[in-house]
Amino acid sequence: MRPWGLHALANVFKCPVHRISDKFVIYDFSVDLVKKIDMVAYGHPTIVRFGEGNKAGYTLVQLIETSNITGHFCDETGDAYLDIFSCKSFDPNIVKQVIQYHFQPESIDLKVISRQAGVSMEDHKRCCLNLR
């Protein structure tokens, strides 16, 4: 059985703080990522700054027709934690390139897992291939 979806988890280290603490940079990243991995945004990204101490920073939520893109950006450390999940396939290397371009981190630890919840191929096609 083919996987239900692909989930990319990116730990992004030591970005220039002025990049990850700028709502407009995060917005541009979200719009660019959706386009470059060939997804369809469902509305505009939600970008909210909250938290205290070493947890303060922006959080991003972008719904896409095949699931979501989320992230949290930590002002104190310059780190970011991003998740891209979709039942439509995408290229994780493009994800890494878009992260590098927008946030200019010292390093990116990207893990990719296949998600499977025991669904039939028919259910997979109905959910992810016939959205429109």
100 CB-side CA count, 13 A: 11
| Tokens of residue 126, six digits | 């109905």
List, for residues 92-108, the tens digit of each pLDDT value.
999 999 999 999 999 99
What is the structure's pLDDT at 130? 42
Alpha-carbon span 130 to 46, nearest angstrom: 26
3-class state of residue 10 by DSSP: strand
Could you report the per-residue pLDDT of 44-85, keeping only the tens digit for each?
A: 999 999 988 878 999 999 999 889 999 999 999 999 999 999
**Alpha carbon distance 8, 24 (integer Å):** 23
Q: pTM of the entire structure?
A: 0.84
For the chain, list the domains and their CATH numbers.
5-128 (3.60.90.10)
Q: What is the rounded average pLDDT of the residues 106-122?
A: 78
